[in-house]
Amino acid sequence: MSCWPAWACTRRRTSERVAASAVLADPSADRSADTPRDDQAGQRLGAHIRMLRRARRLTLVQVATETDLSHPFLSQIERGLAQPSLGSLRRIAVALGTSPIELIAAAEGPASTAPAVEVHRRGDGAVAADFASGSARMLAHGDRAFRPMEYEGENTEPGEHFVHAEDEFVYVLEGTVCVDLDGELRTLDATECAYFRGGVRHRWWSVRPGMYRLLIVKST
């Protein structure tokens, strides 16, 4: 099975790809995770980011301030002329009050491309790039009632909160994590889980050095 997004699954690059005569590079982005463009996916991603920004009545300058990304680079992303690293995508998601899962899913093909049955094997669709200090792979694509994702991380620091309107479910496959849900801390071991409604500020981290693995399911 082919890996999506293509720009997240190809070899890491150290610079933004030039498109047409020039694509503005983002001096504040993590270029270790920047990869070539996928035109259609990039256009869908940019259009979705622009829609969310306008719905929240935010200017590009305001989003640039919140994300520490440059205004020109964000403009290029919205027009589908540049692809952010997954680390930058995480910051954009936080600024827009959504999740990286939602932004990644928005860049996929139209609903008609979603099969009635979808099977993933071990290693299918792995994303080897910075994603909130870890890596992730989507386990379903297209227009679905919910979005499942496998996530691996090693962060032992809390990091930024995420908050979005959709409900979310987190199941610990491996390791031990501390989950912060609106300021209430809960420790979850393997086979334990948490469900929380939309609007709950959340983040998680490993309670000890080493990798942890989660199954994250977000409603659409």
Just give the CATH number of 145-219. 2.60.120.10
C-beta of residue 16 within 8 angstroms of C-beta of residue 82: yes
Residues 140-153 pLDDT 10s:
877 778 889 888 88
What residue spans define the domains of the chain? 6-106, 145-219
Output the CA angle 8-146-39, nearest 5 degrees. 30
**6-106 topology per CATH:** 434 Repressor (Amino-terminal Domain) (1.10.260)
Q: What is the pLDDT of residues 123-142, one digit of tens each?
A: 666 554 444 456 778 788 77
| pLDDT tens figures, 53-84 | 999 999 999 999 999 999 999 999 999 998 88
Distance CA 206, CA 117 (A): 34
pTM assigned to the model: 0.63
Q: How far apart are CA 42 and CA 38, in angstroms?
A: 6
Q: What is the DSSP letter of 123?
A: T
| Cβ(105)–Cβ(147) below 8 Å | yes
